[in-house]
Structures are given as C-alpha cells and as structure tokens.
Structure 1
Amino acid sequence: MMRRFLLSLSLLVAVPAEAAGEAIARARVVIDTPQVRLVDLFDNAGPRGERVLGPAPAPGQRYIVPIGQLAAIARDNGLTLVGGGPTVVERPGRAIAREEVEAVLRDALLAAGAGGSPDARIEVQPFTPPTVPLAGTPQLLIEDLAWDHASGRFAATLAAIVPDEQPLRTRLAGRVTDLVAVPVAVRRIAAGTAVTPSDVRIAKLSPDRVPADVVLDPSELAGQVVRRPIAPGTPIGLSELGGRLVVMKDSPVVMTIEVPGLAVTAQGRALDNGARGDIVQVLNIASRAVVEATVIGPGRVRVTPGSMPVSRPTDRRFSNRRAELIR
C-alpha cells in the first residue's frame, strides 16, 4: 500500500541560507532501517546527510514524500532543491510463514495443556502473516493465550520482536484438534475383496473424519471382505466388513450334502472367494459339475439337497452340462 507521509521537521535544525547547497530528490528509495535519513532522500545531501528525519515505512510497506515537503526538508537543512518530484520510500520485508507461527503456537498450547499430543492439528483462521524486516531473525512469542477445553478454540497474540524495531503484534484465533491414528486404505479396495496387510497404512485424521465403528487395529482387518468399495485414505468401519474369507478361490474344499439320516461328502474346488455364510460356486472334482454352496467353515461348504448344477459362461465345459453332485 502506498500513502503520503509527512516526515517530522521538528527534529531538524535550520541553517543559514548562505550555507545552502543544491540537492536533487531521489525518485525511489529502498531502505532496510527503521528510520529515514536526509541522505536517503537526496543526492548531494551535504554534511547533515546522516540526520534522522523520521520513521521508515513498516516492513513490506511504502509511502510517498510530496515535493512540497521535500523542498521544506531541503531548505531547513541548508539545501536548495533542484528539480525532481515526489519520492517513493519503500522498505522490503518478509512474511512470517504459517509453519513458523504454528510451531511457536503449538509449544504454547502444549505448555498450557491444550492438545493431547505434539501431533494435534492447529488451525488458525483467518491467518494474516505478519511482515518483518528482511534483515534479522525475529523472536516469536505467544502472549495472552486463552483456550477452551470443550470446543478446542483458542485466541492469542503473536509478538514478533526484532532488535531496534517496535514489537509487531498480531491477533491469532483458531482451534486445536487431537488427531486419531487409524488404518486407512492405501489404494481403492473393490467390494467383495479381502483386505491384505499391504492394503492399509496408519494415518492421523481429525475426529470428524473417523466413523464411530472404525477398526483401530490393522490386524483385525486382515482377511476381512469389504461390503462396498473403499476409497484411498478412507478409514474402515465394522459395518463395512463382511467377515473373513474362509474359502479362497481355486482352493480345495470339502463339499457336504445332508439328507435325513445321511451326510455325504465329496472333494471340490472353490470358484469364488467366500466368507462364512456366503454363497459360492464350487466345482465337483468327480462329476465336473458346478454347483452353488454355502460356506460353513474354513475349506468347507454345504450343498442344499436338490441343488441343480449351474453354468459358468466363462467356461464352455460347464455351459450345458448337468451331473450328479456325488458319484
């Protein structure tokens, strides 16, 4: 932002007019000190060149010294202004990064008992970074910290202290939230797929992203079949699990058919993955018939009496074939 600024003339001591020399006002001045000197504004500033005229702009700001004021400053310091126009005085600065502010704020919050761990999420909204001089490293302090345990909201003052500068104070407000460590999907997990250890990783999420029935132990997910697709980075709840696979596709299974007073078994091969209670298709090794069966345990399925063989369009050998379950 550019503004007009009147430098103080009360600090200046007039000199006899006969001592006046010619000076040229500079069009643009970039300074890195908190004060403006005579030599900053003029070429040929004379013996009073180091005289302080007034405060410099705040870091990252600028102002304009009008031509009339330049003429008065020159005259009161024994100079005659020759030509030129208004002078733009600017002072470079750097904005303090959000990370720097959050680091000192986190330490203050932890010291005050706010946030249960160093991994708590700190949200500062809105965040307007204070600007400090390019030269020098500011000391950042948190003052007047107030924190509400129930809501997690806080308010504080950030003080940026730089030697030879007025302390720069900025109000901060926001919320601190303890994160929850939960297993989340590494990649998309399709519905009906069993979860493997490589499918999940531990991530820290805010509580509003964690379902009430979330599974916290990754070992409890291994082998569990998901009922719906799970997107990457999503935690998994118990309601989304359909049980562990006890029958694996292409693995051998024992087929059981029970009729009053008789139980018959045969060897088969599972054509689908299945958790306990799932309906899967099974190939009877002896008859080569494919039937539907209910998974009743690890490597065991039960075929309902009277079940008809089914065809699998992907395998022509069974497309029109019918055979007995047990031969």
Structure 2
Amino acid sequence: MACVALQCAPLSAATLRTATVISASTVKLSDLFADLEPGQDKVLGPAPAPGTSIQVGGGQLIAIADQYGVDWLDQSASALATITRAGRVLDKSYFADLVEKNLPDIGVGAVSVDLFDFHPITVPPNDPKPVVLSDLNWDQHSGRFSATVYRAQPTGDITQDSFMLTGAIHAARKVLVFSHALQTGAVITPADVQINDSYTGTPNAKTYANEADVDGMTLANTVLAGEPVLDRDLHRTILVHRGDPVLIAFSAPGIHLAATGRALEDGGAGQYMRALNLATAMIITGRVINSSEIEVDPGSTAIPSDSNTLRRLTASARANTRADTSLR
C-alpha cells in the first residue's frame, strides 16, 4: 500500500545519461537514457556537428520520456543532459599533405606547403576520407596555389561544407645550412656549414649554396644547427680598418706595380674600398686581398685627394661604420 501511495517507479526504470559522447550522425533515445526496455530505442534526430555538443533540458527530457513511454527515475525540470559528437581535427599538416599528394607529377621532388589564413576543421573520427580536394591551381613560377575543399559528409551549413584553401608550394633546393650552433661574432669556416640538397624551408632572405661565399664572414646573430645560412645573418669580417697602412698593388700583362697607401675606409675580404696613394696623393679604389694589401683593377680611375674629397670620404666611412655597428 505504501508503495502504491508513493507511486514507486518499477525496478526496470531508466536512468538519465547526463553526459554522452557519440560517434553516429543521429541521436538515439539510448543516448539520453540508460536501461531502456528491449526494442524501446528510437532515433530522435540528427546529431550535432563533429566536435560540438547539444544540451537537452529537463522539460524536453520529460516530454521525450512521455512520448516514448520511458519510465525515468528522478524526473526533474532542472535536469540536464549533454550530448557531444566525437570529432577529429584536420590541422595544417593534414591539408599540407593532402595538397602535396594532389600535385601533378612534374618531377619537382620534395616540396613544402605553406597555407594562408588557415582554419582547422573537425570531422567524424572514423571517416577514412573526410574531405575531397578539388580544382587545384598551382602557379609554379610564384609557387602560389588555390584549391577547393569539400566535406565528404556535409553538415548542411554551406559556409562549412566547402571552403577555399590557398597557400604557396616551395620546391626543394640546394642550400647551405649551419653544421652546429654558433654565437654572434663567430667567424665562419667551411667546418661550420654544410649543404642540404633538399631544403624546403621558405627563408625571406638571400641564401647561399657555396661554402666559399661565406668563408671568413662574421655572424651578426646567434644561429642553430640546421638553419639556412642567410645573408642577413652575416657581414664581412673587417680585414683593413680606416687609417691602416696598406700595400696598393696593380697587375696587368707584363706589369706589376706596388705603392704604399693609407686606407680611407674599412674593408672586408674581397670588398672594394678606397685608399690614398701616398706617393701620388691620388685616391684609388681597390679590392681587399688581405689585412695589408689591396689590388687595383685594370681600368680603375684615380681621383685627386683634395681636402674636401678626403673630408667627405672620411665622413661617409664613419657613417657607414656607425650604421654597420647598429645592425649588429
């Protein structure tokens, strides 16, 4: 009698699932209630998009239970059930690989793919082919590409079911990289660099492919092993300083002349600089051979060393030195 008066629920009454993760594209009654009667389970409607959730409040839960004859323990208008659809995130690396696989076979070898204004998407976790790449257009001169991506399982939202993928494709090339980490001020030797024949990075500065081009140059920044050798990271090691005595050499077929001079500006190995010929009081331009010698090219023209010219050259050399120092 007491049980009848209290309207006790039967022993087989269902229980509410307050949090459920599903992988199907539809929500079933069993996603909301456990311990249903055999054959009682039904499809209620479409599931949320992969990676998202829906919440079902107490009033709606009571209405669903009444509609499908579910005896629900602890019915309450304040109850809440959350259904989350499992998802797999397709990130930059996924789409970069997809683009690479869809490139035409033109013998470019290894490539790297950069994506512009990219936003990851979430798809069903067990779908082996969740998206389709279509209409790939690649300008091999600039490296830029565009393509359209379609979801294999549309969500019904046209803003989500397809989108434009854009970026740049960079073919592998031969680049000089650092063999090990080096500190600012280090003077580069051939042991400090090595060739990477399949570099696919995208440095936005000049790179090198020949050890001789950087031998003897000085690092302006600290670098790490494997980083490309960039022009912006290097400056010429100063061999001749302004005011230093130098030997001025001139060579032509059957002729070799030498004179003493004084450097009017700093100069690095192989760099052209100006010097004063002390014997003729003329200003010449020559290429730095070592710390005490510069070589004048045949056809080079000397200019008179009047006081105004010397003052202007000295001021220019000082300004260049200050600018070079500030860049380091």
What is the TM-score normalised by the length of structure 1? 0.54
Please list, as runs of the form range in 1=range in 2, the aligned pairs for 1:1-327 lying within 5 A after superposition. 22-82=13-73, 83-84=75-76, 85-108=79-102, 110-111=103-104, 117-148=108-139, 151-161=142-152, 169-179=161-171, 180-186=173-179, 187-188=181-182, 193=187, 195-203=188-196, 204=199, 209-211=204-206, 215-218=208-211, 220-221=212-213, 224-226=215-217, 229=220, 232=223, 233=227, 234-236=229-231, 277-278=288-289, 280=291, 294=293
Shift in Å at residue 124 of structure 1?
1.4
Take 1:139 and 1:242, find their aligned partners in 2: how far apart are those partners? 56
Shift in Å at residue 103 of structure 1?
0.8
**CA contact under 8 A between 1:39 and 1:50: conserved in structure 2?**
yes
Take 1:243 and 1:111, find their aligned partners in 2: how far apart are those partners? 49
Take 1:128 and 1:192, find their aligned partners in 2: how far apart are those partners? 41
Cα deviation digits, residues 83-117 of structure 1 (max 9, x gap): 14121111222212422221111122x2287xx83
Q: 1:94 and 1:146, CA in 2 relative to 1: closer, same or farther beyond 3 A?
A: same
**CA contact under 8 A between 1:23 and 1:81: conserved in structure 2?**
yes
Shift in Å at residue 63 of structure 1?
0.2
Take 1:128 and 1:142, find their aligned partners in 2: how far apart are those partners? 16
Take 2:169 and 2:129, find their aligned partners in 1: how far apart are those partners? 28
**CA contact under 8 A between 1:71 and 1:80: conserved in structure 2?**
no
Take 1:175 and 1:30, find their aligned partners in 2: how far apart are those partners? 35
For residue 104 of structure 1, what is the amino acid of its counterpart?
A: L
Q: 1:169 and 1:145, CA in 2 relative to 1: closer, same or farther beyond 3 A?
A: farther
Cα deviation digits, residues 184-226 of structure 1 (max 9, x gap): 4444487794x53322123536666342xx54333x348x432
For residue 27 of structure 1, what is the amino acid of its counterpart?
A: T
For residue 210 of structure 2, what is the amino acid of its counterpart?
A: D
Q: 1:207 and 1:295, CA in 2 relative to 1: closer, same or farther beyond 3 A?
A: same
Q: 1:184 and 1:210, CA in 2 relative to 1: closer, same or farther beyond 3 A?
A: farther
For residue 29 of structure 1, what is the amino acid of its counterpart?
A: T
SS at match of 1:202: strand
**CA contact under 8 A between 2:23 and 2:125: conserved in structure 1?**
yes
SS at match of 1:46: coil
**CA contact under 8 A between 1:38 and 1:48: conserved in structure 2?**
no
RMSD: 4.2
- Any stretches of 5+ residues in structure 2 without a counterpart? 1-11, 240-257, 259-268, 271-286, 296-328
Cα deviation digits, residues 281-318 of structure 1 (max 9, x gap): xxxxxxxxxxxx5488xxxxxxxxxxxxxxxxxxxxxx
**CA contact under 8 A between 1:37 and 1:49: conserved in structure 2?**
no
For residue 81 of structure 2, what is the amino acid of its counterpart?
A: T
Take 1:91 and 1:26, find their aligned partners in 2: how far apart are those partners? 15
Shift in Å at residue 149 of structure 1?
5.2
Take 2:20 and 2:185, find their aligned partners in 1: how far apart are those partners? 67
What is the TM-score normalised by the length of structure 2? 0.54
Q: Percent identical across equivalent pairs? A: 25
**CA contact under 8 A between 1:34 and 1:55: conserved in structure 2?**
yes
For residue 79 of structure 1, what is the amino acid of its counterpart?
A: V
Cα deviation digits, residues 17-59 of structure 1 (max 9, x gap): xxxx954432222222222211221234224433211112222
For residue 235 of structure 1, what is the amino acid of its counterpart?
A: L
Take 1:208 and 1:201, find their aligned partners in 2: how far apart are those partners? 17
Take 1:185 and 1:90, find their aligned partners in 2: how far apart are those partners? 49
**CA contact under 8 A between 2:112 and 2:170: conserved in structure 1?**
yes
Take 1:192 and 1:78, find their aligned partners in 2: how far apart are those partners? 81
Take 2:202 and 2:124, find their aligned partners in 1: how far apart are those partners? 39
Take 1:26 and 1:277, find their aligned partners in 2: how far apart are those partners? 82
Which 10-residue stretch deviates more, 25-34 or 60-69?
A: 25-34
